[in-house]
Amino acid sequence: EIVMTQSPATLSVSPGERVTLSCRASQSVNSNLAWYQQKPGQAPRLLIYGASTRATDIPARFSGSGSGTEFTLTISSLQSEDFAVYYCQQFNTWPYAFGQGTKLEIK
Amino acid sequence: EVQLVESGGGLVQPGGSLRVSCAASGFTFSSSGMSWARQAPGKGLEWVSTISGSGGSTHYADSVKGRFTISRDNSKNTLYLQMNSLRAEDTAVYYCARNLGYCSGGICYSGPWDYWGQGTLVTVSS
């Protein structure tokens, strides 16, 4: 079973800053990695899939990179609406697994 | 417009059963794999189960295997999750989600999930 580990658990940042979130898989998931954003009381929203492809209508300030076991999500300039919890998910091997999430909070 | 609307959540006693549903619209339901995920109060996301478009292939998380059954009725554009032998740790918001249909290197995957419902709360308590 593949375990997904995200770091850090919480990140305090200011609007306008650039931020990088990390996700590590316990074994290779190739590029079969997705990132989701979840705001309080809402369903998750797909941001990135295939490690680096932006989903429909996702702003260009979101970018993903990595392959194998190490992945990153970068937000180039944080907007107020970006403060949320971010999850990575591997869909390479059953059982599909999510990371525990990284919470972006306003500094 | 793609819409997924869950229903059927509620309060159930430990050991009891419940069936949650997900009504889909705005896309060709029978062509899309579908999944259930859950989120316990204040916790992260957990994949629960996935079913192919035809219903012929299913997968389950170990935590629910043997207790939960995923199914679909393509004539009704509806996804189901039958939950039996419920435990307190099954308390969560249950989300249905649509498979994007991502393929790479000649392989098509059952993830990621591009549309999610709003969720339905299942509470297991005496």
Taking chain A (107 residues) in runs of 10, the rounded mean pLDDT of each run is: 96 96 97 97 97 97 98 96 97 95 95
Which pLDDT does position A78 carry in this prediction? Answer: 95
Size of interface A-B (CB pairs under 8 A): 67
What residues have CB less than 8 Å from B107, skipping those under 6 apart?
A: none
Which pLDDT does position B90 carry in this prediction? Answer: 98
Which pLDDT does position B73 carry in this prediction? Answer: 98
pLDDT greater than 90 at residue B103: no
Torsion over CA of A105, A57, A68 and A24, rounded to 10 degrees? 10
Q: Which residues of A29-54 are buried (b: 16+ CB within 10 A; e: fewer)?
A: bbbbbbbbbbeeeebbbbbbbbbbeb
Considering only CB atoms, B112 lies closest to which of A30, A91, A97, namely: A91
pLDDT greater than 90 at residue B108: no
Which pLDDT does position B74 carry in this prediction? Answer: 97
The position carrying tokens 């990575």 is A88
Q: Which of residues 41-60 of A touch B (CB under 8 A)?
A: 42-46, 49-50, 55-56
pLDDT greater than 90 at residue B101: no
pLDDT tens digit sequence for B10-49: 999 999 999 999 999 999 999 999 999 999 999 999 999 9
Residue B65 is encoded by which pair of tokens?
């295997």
The position carrying tokens 């006693």 is B13
pLDDT greater than 90 at residue B107: no
Is residue B57 within 8 A of residue B93, CB to CB? The reply is no
Torsion over CA of B39, B41, B42 and B48, rounded to 10 degrees? -20
